Amino acid sequence: MNIHEYQAKQLFRNYGIAVPDGKIADTDAAAAAIAADLGGDRWVVKAQIHAGGRGKAGGVKVVDSIDEVRRAADSIIGTTLVTHQTGKGGRLVQRVLVEKASNITKEFYLGMVIDRGSQRITVIASASGGMDIEEVAKVSPDKVISEVVDPAVGLLDFQSRKIAAAIGMSGKQIFAAAKMMKALYRCFRDKDASMVEINPLAEIDGEGLMAVDAKVSFDDNALFRLSDIAELRDFDEEDPKEVVASGHGLNYIALDGNVGCIVNGAGLAMGTMDAIAFHGGSPANFLDVGGGASPEKIGNAFRIVLGDVNVKVILVNIFAGINRCDWIAEGLVKAMQEQKIETPIVVRLAGTNLEAGQKILDESKLDFIMAETLDDAAAKVVDIAGKKSL
Ligand code: GDP
Ligand code: MN
């Protein structure tokens, strides 16, 4: 789960990480009032969406008067911002964060991620922070350094100082950065984060280091034990089909292809997507219906998959262990009849009660296209939906 910058900054404040003063507004008048309240003579108005790259897309504006704050807010709120992270469709901006502008003298990059290779939290830092960090990482990866943290002892002071020195800090700044890294590590670990990013980590004239931008993602599987984090979820930032699916206990991720997939088990769902891709097709989604797939669950899965207008054919791939093929078949027949589905459905069943399941599908006299194996099923759906144009 991702959160907004203003929420991440509040979280940082709780951990003693310095962030600019600011507040959230959903109208231009509220933005102007916040700026007047904050005082000073320079402010920054920032679009709040779950995507980076806002600066380059016109979603971050530094201004010098209250009237300009109002105009900046007016021009950002209600627009659809397209950044290199939003995809072509962009994201509707509903709120802006209004902050006192900081007098930035240098921009560093500081992040933490879980490195799958070492299976450990890893600190990533660079002296070349700011809006071109992706380019820096691509063109001169040597300018991005990383340090792996041993979970048994946490981030040690010498490691933080080493990182700070490696990105060109010296003197007191090294200790300030080390303190910030320690706080960030505690935040990452306490809140089951999967990624935190401060870009820029800014050196502010006369004020030391500050997190001028803040991005945090959390492990969804840990949200049950972190109610304070779970309530930060913004459903407006998520694919509505994914929100509905999670409400029905279905694990659904929307993709941009045309083959709808209804599968049990995350591994099999991945394998199914691979098989479709192998035959030259393109999956419209990842969908794991889970272990006990009741007819209601199957029905909901069809509703969600068919809610995607790009879907030309559906591949149902079930390997029944805990599930039973006859239950699945009943669910399929019920969904087909109740929802009057006209989209072609290719079905591949295997495992517990296979014969009983096949019998139910045969006797229904409905137009299921049966497949023997996953490979056969994938070939059939790609035949119907067409190959992905390259
Ligand atoms: P992003 O483009 O979505 O990552 O948004 P950021 O919050 O990182 O803002 C983009 C850029 O705007 C930063 O890299 C800064 O250069 C600039 N910026 C943001 N806030 C301030 C500020 O308070 N003062 C100044 N001078 N620049 C700022
Ligand atoms: Mn940024």
Domain residue ranges in the chain: 1-20+103-238, 22-101, 239-388
- Does residue 304 contact residue 343 with C-beta atoms inside 8 Å? no
The fold for domain 22-101 equals Dna Ligase; domain 1 (3.30.1490)
Neighbours of ion ligand 2 (CB under 5 A): 199, 213
Distance (Å) from CA 28 to ligand 1 centroid: 20
In degrees rounded to 5, what are phi and psi of residue 318? -120, 125
Catalytic residue among 5, 99, 109, 330: 109
The fold for domain 1-20+103-238 equals D-amino Acid Aminotransferase; Chain A, domain 1 (3.30.470)
Distance of CA 384 to the CA centre of its chain: 31
Which ligand sits closest to the CA of 53?
Answer: 1
For residue 119, the model assigns a pLDDT of 94
Residues with CB under 6 A from ligand 1: 44, 46, 52-55, 60, 62, 101-102, 104, 107, 130-131, 199-200, 212-213
Protein residue closest via CA to atom 11 of ligand 1: 55
Q: Is 197 a catalytic residue?
A: yes
* Cβ-based neighbours of 36, under 8 Å, separated by 6 or more: 66
Q: Is 68 a catalytic residue?
A: no
Helix (H) or strand (E) holding 115: strand 104-115
Length of the chain: 390
Distance of CA 31 to the CA centre of its chain: 28
Distance (Å) from CA 34 to ligand 2 centroid: 22
For residue 390, the model assigns a pLDDT of 60
Architecture of the 239-388 domain: 3-Layer(aba) Sandwich (3.40)
User: Which atom of ligand 1 lies at the shortest distance from residue 51's CA?
Assistant: 3
Distance (Å) from CA 79 to ligand 2 centroid: 20
**Which 3 state secondary structure label does DSSP give 326?**
helix
**Which 3 state secondary structure label does DSSP give 271?**
helix
Residues of the chain with pLDDT under 70: 390
Distance (Å) from CA 295 to ligand 2 centroid: 46
**Which 3 state secondary structure label does DSSP give 132?**
coil
For residue 377, the model assigns a pLDDT of 97
For residues 134-162, one letter each, b for 16 or more C-beta atoms within 10 angstroms of the residue's C-beta and e for the rest, the string is: eebeeeeeeebbbbebeeeeebeeebbbe
Tens-digit pLDDT profile for residues 171-181: 999 999 999 99
